[in-house]
Structure 1
Amino acid sequence: MSEKLQTILTAARDHASDVIAPNVDAWNAARLWPRSASDKAGAAGLTGLYVPEEWGGQGLSLAEGIQVYEQLGLGDGAYAFALSMHNICTYAACGYGTDAFKEQWARDLTSGRKLANFALTEPQSGSDPMTMYTHATINGDGTWIINGSKAWVSLATEADVYFTVVKTSDAPGHKDMAMIAIPADTPGISFGPLYDTPSYSFLPMSEMYLNNVIVSEDNIILPIGQGFQGSLMAIDIARVSIASGCCGLMQAALDTALAYSKNRKMFGGKNIELDGIQWMLGEVATDLEASRLLYRKAAEALGTPEGPLMAAHAKRFVPDAAVKAANTCTQVLGGMGLLQPYGLDRLSRLAQMLRIVDGTTEISRVVIGRALQKRAAGLPDLPVPRGFGESDAASPSVAAE
């Protein structure tokens, strides 16, 4: 591990323990994004992870930077998720944006002074991005007029710019899709009521409406024809980032159960001495180690032909393991696990949220299933045992049975 990565991971862990964990319940009660906290994250170098140093970033690879969310997840998985999406947008801006856009936005984004988020999903389409109605009309003066709506927009009303995927023609399919950055103060942009999300109500989510929004071509992040593939890459990065954050969540749940069990006295001893408790927590520990290996392997594969499949494996397995871990650790505490001060109820709800966002675990199973179909097609046919061929099925003796 490089010295720079170690420094960033330590900063993320300190941010989780000093800023997130002591305040997350108050944030949820206030139902407001903690801008002062994300400002501190920016000051700690956590908001420009994958961006070159020349633009104020840390210059980490995806495989390195994604480990940050495991540390942030020790404090709160939804907070880690929000920063992961900001970092994906910042990576796209500095890697693919126009020179004019980078000059205006790059350093504000990498420093965390301004926040960004990604808008792909639409109200009527859910996990089917091919069904898209948000449309951009390209004018002769280099401006784009955008109309449509997006759903499940994180940091709604709070982000300073939204990286939005649009269609640019009425043709079916994805070959006309592009991604354009829309500043939050652009006339014509508005938001619906915030979704009611009790366990992460500090993270504002809502629908975003675009009514004759005019944006300069300088704000094009991915040009026509690249918007869809670029979005898929962003989703793969997000899925592995979520798996990373889930590992932090699992560690937080396990540590809570261990801290409780080592002192709780029952049946003439302490809970941690009971075989049943050890087996339950041992299974959580094994799932956590397997999850770490899987998300880190998936992070290394990003940008390669194996990346989408590895991201699907990570998104399928790790959030499911996190749900199981949070529920098991709650069970270990018994009735005490239901009380708010221990935080396990919040972790259980967060784990369920992370199973759904950026592609449900069922969508990941579809991706894995399609890969298995392709693999099966390339395998040699197995010999059919005698008595099981088509001729047997047509014989009078078989038909009589």
Structure 2
Amino acid sequence: MSEKIAAILEAARAHAQDVISPNIDAWNAAKKWPRDASDKAGAAGLTGLYAPEEFGGQGLPLSEGIQVYEQLGLGDGAYAFALSMHNICTFAGCGYGTDAFKGKWSSDLTSGRKLANFALTEPQSGSDATNMYTRATINGDGTWTISGSKAWVSLATEADIYFTVVKTSDAPGHKDMAMIAIPADAEGISFGPMYDTPSYNFLPMSEMYLDKVVVSEDNIILPIGQGLQGSLMAIDIARVSIASGCCGLMQAALDTALSYSKNRKMFGGKNLHLDGIQWMLGEVATDLEVSKLLYRKAAEALGTPEGPLMAAHAKRFVPDAAVKAANTCTQVLGGMGLLQPYGLDRLSRLAQMLRIVDGTTEISRVVIGRELQKRAASLPDLPVPKGFGEADTNTVSVAAQ
């Protein structure tokens, strides 16, 4: 591990320990994004992880930068998720944006002075990204006029710019899709009521409405025809980032259970001396180690032909393991695990949220299943054993009916 990534990971660990963990309950009670905290994250170099150094970023490869969310997840998975989306947008803007866009926005985004978020999902479409109603009309002066709505927009009302995926015609399919960055102060942009999310109310989420919003062509991030492909790449990065954050969540749950059970006296000894407790927590520890290896391998595959499949494997396995870990650790504490000061109820709810965002675990299973079909097609057919001829097949078929 290079000195640079080691220093960044230590900064992220310190941010989780000193900024997130002591304040997360107060943030949720206030129901407001802690801008002072994300400002500190920016000062620590956590808001421009993949952006080039020339724009003030860290210039880290995805395989290294994604490990930051494991450390942030020790404090809170939703906070880690929000910063991961900001970093993905910053990466896209600094890597694919126009020169004019980079000149205006790049340093503010990499420093965290301004926050960005990604807007793809729509109220009626969910995981069906091509079933999109948000439309952009290209005007004679090159500007784009955009109307439509987006759902589950993170950092709603808080982000300074929204990287928004649109269609530019009514034709079915994705060949007319593009991505354009819409500033939060553009005329015609508004937000619905904040979603009520009890365990991460500090992270504002709502629908975003676009009513004839006019945006400069300078803000085109991905031109017509590249919108879906770029969005899928962003989602793959997000899925691996979520898996990384889940590992931090699992570690936090495990540490809470260990800290409690090492002193809890029962049946003539300490809880942690009981075989049953050791087996429960040992299974969590194994799942955590497997999850770390899986998300890191998936991060290394991003940008390669294996990237989407590995991202699907990580998104399917790790959040499920996090849900199991949070529930198991709650069980270890017994009734005390239900009390807010221990934080396990919050971790259980967060783990469930992370199973859903940026593609549910079921969508990941679809991706994996399609790859298995391709592999099956490339394998030789197995010979039919003697006695399993046409008559037997018909017999089985009739019996099945």
TM-score, normalized by the shorter chain, greater than 0.5: yes
State the one-letter code of the partner of 1:227: G
Cα distance, 1:368 vs structure 2: 0.5
**What residue number does 2:24 align with?**
24
Cα distance, 1:170 vs structure 2: 1.1
**What residue number does 1:164 align with?**
164
Count of aligned pairs = 397
CA distance in 2, matches of 1:353, 1:40: 25
CA distance in 2, matches of 1:196, 1:332: 29
Is 1:333 aligned with 2:333?
yes
Cα distance, 1:393 vs structure 2: 4.0
Cα distance, 1:391 vs structure 2: 4.7
**What residue number does 1:67 align with?**
67
Is 1:199 aligned with 2:199?
yes
Q: Report Cα offsets for 1:227-260 as digits up to 9, x if no partner.
A: 0000000000000000000000000000000000
Cα distance, 1:376 vs structure 2: 0.5
State the one-letter code of the partner of 1:343: G
State the one-letter code of the partner of 1:286: T
**What residue number does 1:209 align with?**
209
Is 1:106 aligned with 2:92?
no
**What residue number does 2:174 align with?**
174
CA distance in 1, matches of 2:344, 2:394: 61
Correspondence 1:26-45 to 2 at 5 A: 26-45=26-45
Q: Report Cα offsets for 1:239-283 as digits up to 9, x if no partner.
A: 000000000000000000000010000000000000000000000
**What residue number does 1:390 align with?**
390
Give the secondary structure class of the aligned counterpart of 2:199. helix
Cα distance, 1:97 vs structure 2: 0.2
State the one-letter code of the partner of 2:79: Y
Give the secondary structure class of the aligned counterpart of 1:162. strand
CA distance in 2, matches of 1:298, 1:354: 17
Is 1:248 aligned with 2:248?
yes
CA distance in 1, matches of 2:104, 2:23: 33
CA distance in 2, matches of 1:32, 1:394: 65
- Using structure 2 for the length normalisation, give the TM-score: 0.98
Structure 1 runs (4+) deviating above 6 angstroms are: none
Instruction: Extract unaligned runs of 5+ from structure 2.
Output: none
Is 1:49 aligned with 2:49?
yes
State the one-letter code of the partner of 1:260: Y
| Mean Cα deviation higher: 347-356 or 383-392 | 383-392
Cα distance, 1:394 vs structure 2: 5.7
Give the secondary structure class of the aligned counterpart of 1:200. coil
**What residue number does 2:118 align with?**
118
CA distance in 2, matches of 1:53, 1:351: 33
State the one-letter code of the partner of 1:320: D
Structure 2 CA distance for partners of 1:269 and 1:178, relative to 1, 3 Å = same
Is 1:147 aligned with 2:151?
no
Cα distance, 1:389 vs structure 2: 2.1
Give the secondary structure class of the aligned counterpart of 1:210. strand
CA distance in 1, matches of 2:76, 2:56: 26
Q: Report Cα offsets for 1:71-92 as digits up to 9, x if no partner.
A: 0000000000000000000000
Instruction: Extract unaligned runs of 5+ from structure 1.
Output: none
State the one-letter code of the partner of 1:239: R
- Using structure 1 for the length normalisation, give the TM-score: 0.98
CA distance in 2, matches of 1:41, 1:270: 39
Structure 2 CA distance for partners of 1:394 and 1:206, relative to 1, 3 Å = closer
Give the secondary structure class of the aligned counterpart of 1:114. coil
Cα distance, 1:390 vs structure 2: 1.8
CA distance in 2, matches of 1:140, 1:13: 50
Q: Report Cα offsets for 1:130-171 as digits up to 9, x if no partner.
A: 100000000110100000000000000000000000000111
Structure 2 CA distance for partners of 1:360 and 1:393, relative to 1, 3 Å = closer
State the one-letter code of the partner of 1:241: S
State the one-letter code of the partner of 2:152: W
Cα distance, 1:392 vs structure 2: 4.2
State the one-letter code of the partner of 1:9: L
Give the secondary structure class of the aligned counterpart of 1:199. coil
